[in-house]
Chains A and B, each alone.
Chain A
Amino acid sequence: MHYKTVSDSNFKDLGFVPTIIIAFYRSSQKSAFLAEYALLRTNYPDTEILGCSSSGNIADEIPYVETTEQFPIVYFCCDMKRDAFAVHLFSEEDDIAVSQLYEQAILLSSFSSPVLEAHLADFSKAKEIKKVYGAVAGVELCIEEHPSIFYNGSFYARHMLLWSIDSERYRLDGMSMHLFRPAGIPLEITRAEHKTLYEINNLPALDVIEEITGKIDEFLIGRFGYPLFVQKHAGMEWSNAPLASIVAVNREEGSIQLYRDVYPKEYVKVGIMLSKQDQLRRLGRLYDIAPKKSAALMFHCIGIAENLKMMEYLYLEEIKHHIDVSFAGFHSFGEIGSPASRKPSEDILLHNQTITVALIAEKDKV
Chain B
Amino acid sequence: MRLNTEQEHFFIERIKKEFGRPEEEAAETVKSLQKLLYEGDMKIVYYLQYRVFKENDPAYTRKLLNFLFEGYTYLYDQTDNQEEKEKLGVGIQQLFTFLFIERCTYAKEMEEQSLVSQHILKSVSDRLNTVLKTQESMIANLSHEMRTSLNTIHGYLSIIDESKALRGEQKFQLKKAIHGAVSLQSLVKDILNITKINSGQLEIQKSFFDMEEMLLQCIDHLSIEIKNRQRITFEYESMFAPFLVYGDQMHMMEILINFLTNAFKYTEEGFVRLKMAYKKEPKGIRAVFSVSDSGIGMTPEQLQDVFNPYSRYQKKKQGLGLGMHITKQLADRLGGELEVESEPGVGTTFSFSYLFEKTRDHQPDVKGKKIYFYIEKSMQERTYVKEKIHFLKQHGATVKTFKSENSLINFLLNAQKDIPDILSVLSEPQNYTKIDALIYYLRSGKRFEKTVFIAENMRQHLSLKYFDDLYEYCAPVKIYEKLLKKENTSKKSSGVGLSVLVVDDTETNLDIFRLFIGKDYPNAKVDLAGGGYEGVGMCKVKQYDIIFLDLKMPGMNGFEVMRKLKELNMTLPPIYAFTADVYKSTYDKIFEYGFEGILEKPLNPEHLNEILQRITNAETAE
Residues of A with Cβ closer than 8 Å to B? 62-63, 183-185, 211-214, 217, 219-220, 223, 225-226, 270, 272-273, 276, 309-311, 313-314, 317-318
Q: A183-B120, A213-B120, A217-B112 are in contact. Are A314 and B50 (CB under 8 A)?
A: yes
Assess the B112–A183 pair: CB atoms within 8 A. no
Assess the B106–A311 pair: CB atoms within 8 A. yes
Assess the A184–B124 pair: CB atoms within 8 A. yes
Bound together, the chains give a CA A207 to CA B401 distance in angstroms of 85
A201 vs chain B, min Cβ distance (A): 12
Assess the A62–B124 pair: CB atoms within 8 A. no
User: In the complex, which residue of chain B has the Cβ closest to the Cβ of A219?
Assistant: B112
Assess the A314–B121 pair: CB atoms within 8 A. no
Bound together, the chains give a CA A211 to CA B53 distance in angstroms of 34
Contacts of A317 in B (CB 8 A): 46, 50
Bound together, the chains give a CA A270 to CA B119 distance in angstroms of 11
Bound together, the chains give a CA A213 to CA B123 distance in angstroms of 8
Q: A184-B127, A212-B124 are in contact. Are A310 and B117 (CB under 8 A)?
A: no
Contact of B120 among A184, A220, A311 (CB under 8 A): A184
Assess the A309–B131 pair: CB atoms within 8 A. no
Judged by a CB distance under 8 angstroms, whether B358 is at the interface is no
Residue of B53, B54, B98, B102 most packed against chain A (CB within 10 A): B53
Bound together, the chains give a CA A237 to CA B112 distance in angstroms of 28
Assess the B120–A314 pair: CB atoms within 8 A. no
Assess the B113–A63 pair: CB atoms within 8 A. no
Taking CB atoms and an 8 Å cut-off, the chain B residues in 339-358 that contact chain A are none
Assess the B109–A273 pair: CB atoms within 8 A. no
Main secondary structure of the interface of B (DSSP, over half): helix
Contacts of B496 in A (CB 8 A): none
A355 vs chain B, min Cβ distance (A): 16
Judged by a CB distance under 8 angstroms, whether B43 is at the interface is yes
Assess the B131–A213 pair: CB atoms within 8 A. no
A285 vs chain B, min Cβ distance (A): 19
Contact of B112 among A62, A63, A212, A220 (CB under 8 A): A220
Contact of A220 among B42, B116, B123 (CB under 8 A): B116
Judged by a CB distance under 8 angstroms, whether B134 is at the interface is no
Bound together, the chains give a CA A276 to CA B107 distance in angstroms of 12
User: In the complex, which residue of chain A has the Cβ closest to the Cβ of B117?
Assistant: A272
Contact of A63 among B42, B53, B109, B110 (CB under 8 A): B42
Assess the A270–B106 pair: CB atoms within 8 A. no
Assess the A62–B120 pair: CB atoms within 8 A. no
Assess the B106–A185 pair: CB atoms within 8 A. no
Contacts of A270 in B (CB 8 A): 120, 124
21 contacts between A and B (CB under 8 A): A62-B43, A62-B46, A183-B121, A183-B124, A184-B124, A185-B127, A185-B128, A213-B119, A214-B119, A217-B116, A220-B112, A225-B113, A225-B116, A273-B110, A273-B113, A273-B117, A309-B106, A310-B49, A310-B106, A313-B46, A314-B50
Contacts of A314 in B (CB 8 A): 49-50, 53
Assess the B128–A184 pair: CB atoms within 8 A. yes
User: In the complex, which residue of chain A has the Cβ closest to the Cβ of B53?
Assistant: A314
Extra pairs beyond A63-B42, A272-B121, A276-B56 (16, CB < 8 Å): A62-B46, A63-B46, A183-B121, A183-B124, A184-B123, A185-B131, A212-B123, A213-B116, A214-B119, A226-B116, A270-B120, A272-B117, A273-B110, A310-B98, A313-B46, A317-B50
Contacts of B106 in A (CB 8 A): 309-311
A198 vs chain B, min Cβ distance (A): 21
Judged by a CB distance under 8 angstroms, whether B299 is at the interface is no
A58 vs chain B, min Cβ distance (A): 14
Assess the B113–A211 pair: CB atoms within 8 A. no
Judged by a CB distance under 8 angstroms, whether B488 is at the interface is no
Bound together, the chains give a CA A346 to CA B121 distance in angstroms of 30
A84 vs chain B, min Cβ distance (A): 36
Contacts of A311 in B (CB 8 A): 53, 106
Assess the A272–B120 pair: CB atoms within 8 A. yes
Bound together, the chains give a CA A212 to CA B113 distance in angstroms of 14
Range, interface on chain B = 20 to 34
Judged by a CB distance under 8 angstroms, whether B198 is at the interface is no
Assess the A273–B46 pair: CB atoms within 8 A. no
B338 vs chain A, min Cβ distance (A): 34
Contacts of B98 in A (CB 8 A): 310
Contacts of A276 in B (CB 8 A): 56
B457 vs chain A, min Cβ distance (A): 59
Q: A223-B109, A310-B106, A317-B50 are in contact. Are A214 and B116 (CB under 8 A)?
A: yes
Bound together, the chains give a CA A310 to CA B45 distance in angstroms of 12
Contacts of A310 in B (CB 8 A): 49, 98, 102, 106
Assess the B123–A211 pair: CB atoms within 8 A. yes
Assess the B53–A273 pair: CB atoms within 8 A. no
Judged by a CB distance under 8 angstroms, whether B114 is at the interface is yes
Bound together, the chains give a CA A273 to CA B114 distance in angstroms of 7
Assess the A212–B46 pair: CB atoms within 8 A. no
Bound together, the chains give a CA A276 to CA B102 distance in angstroms of 17
Bound together, the chains give a CA A86 to CA B513 distance in angstroms of 85
Contacts of A62 in B (CB 8 A): 42-43, 46-47
Contacts of B54 in A (CB 8 A): 318
A364 vs chain B, min Cβ distance (A): 33
Bound together, the chains give a CA A184 to CA B109 distance in angstroms of 24
Contacts of A63 in B (CB 8 A): 42, 46
Bound together, the chains give a CA A313 to CA B114 distance in angstroms of 21
Per-residue contact bits, chain B 464-506, to A (CB 8 Å; 1 contact, 0 not): 0000000000000000000000000000000000000000000
Taking CB atoms and an 8 Å cut-off, the chain B residues in 83-126 that contact chain A are 98, 102, 106, 109-110, 112-114, 116-117, 119-121, 123-124
Contacts of A217 in B (CB 8 A): 112, 116
Taking CB atoms and an 8 Å cut-off, the chain B residues in 40-66 that contact chain A are 42-43, 46-47, 49-50, 53-54, 56
A111 vs chain B, min Cβ distance (A): 30
Bound together, the chains give a CA A31 to CA B286 distance in angstroms of 90
Contacts of B50 in A (CB 8 A): 313-314, 317-318
Per-residue contact bits, chain B 436-476, to A (CB 8 Å; 1 contact, 0 not): 00000000000000000000000000000000000000000
B129 vs chain A, min Cβ distance (A): 12
A341 vs chain B, min Cβ distance (A): 20
Contacts of A219 in B (CB 8 A): 112
Bound together, the chains give a CA A276 to CA B54 distance in angstroms of 11
Contacts of B46 in A (CB 8 A): 62-63, 313, 317
Ranked 5 nearest A-B pairs via Cβ: A184-B124, A272-B117, A214-B119, A317-B50, A314-B53
B53 vs chain A, min Cβ distance (A): 5
Bound together, the chains give a CA A185 to CA B132 distance in angstroms of 12
Bound together, the chains give a CA A135 to CA B183 distance in angstroms of 60
Bound together, the chains give a CA A329 to CA B124 distance in angstroms of 37
User: In the complex, which residue of chain A has the Cβ closest to the Cβ of B124?
Assistant: A184
Contacts of B121 in A (CB 8 A): 183, 272
Contacts of A185 in B (CB 8 A): 124, 127-128, 131
Contacts of B116 in A (CB 8 A): 213-214, 217, 220, 225-226, 272
Bound together, the chains give a CA A185 to CA B127 distance in angstroms of 8
Bound together, the chains give a CA A142 to CA B498 distance in angstroms of 94
Bound together, the chains give a CA A273 to CA B110 distance in angstroms of 9
Contacts of B110 in A (CB 8 A): 273
Contacts of A313 in B (CB 8 A): 46, 49-50
B126 vs chain A, min Cβ distance (A): 10
Taking CB atoms and an 8 Å cut-off, the chain B residues in 117-159 that contact chain A are 117, 119-121, 123-124, 127-128, 131
B99 vs chain A, min Cβ distance (A): 11
Bound together, the chains give a CA A270 to CA B120 distance in angstroms of 8
Bound together, the chains give a CA A276 to CA B113 distance in angstroms of 13
Contacts of A214 in B (CB 8 A): 116, 119-120, 123
Contacts of B127 in A (CB 8 A): 184-185, 212
Bound together, the chains give a CA A62 to CA B109 distance in angstroms of 24
User: In the complex, which residue of chain B has the Cβ closest to the Cβ of A269?
Assistant: B124
Contacts of B112 in A (CB 8 A): 217, 219-220, 225
Assess the A220–B128 pair: CB atoms within 8 A. no
A154 vs chain B, min Cβ distance (A): 37
Bound together, the chains give a CA A184 to CA B120 distance in angstroms of 8
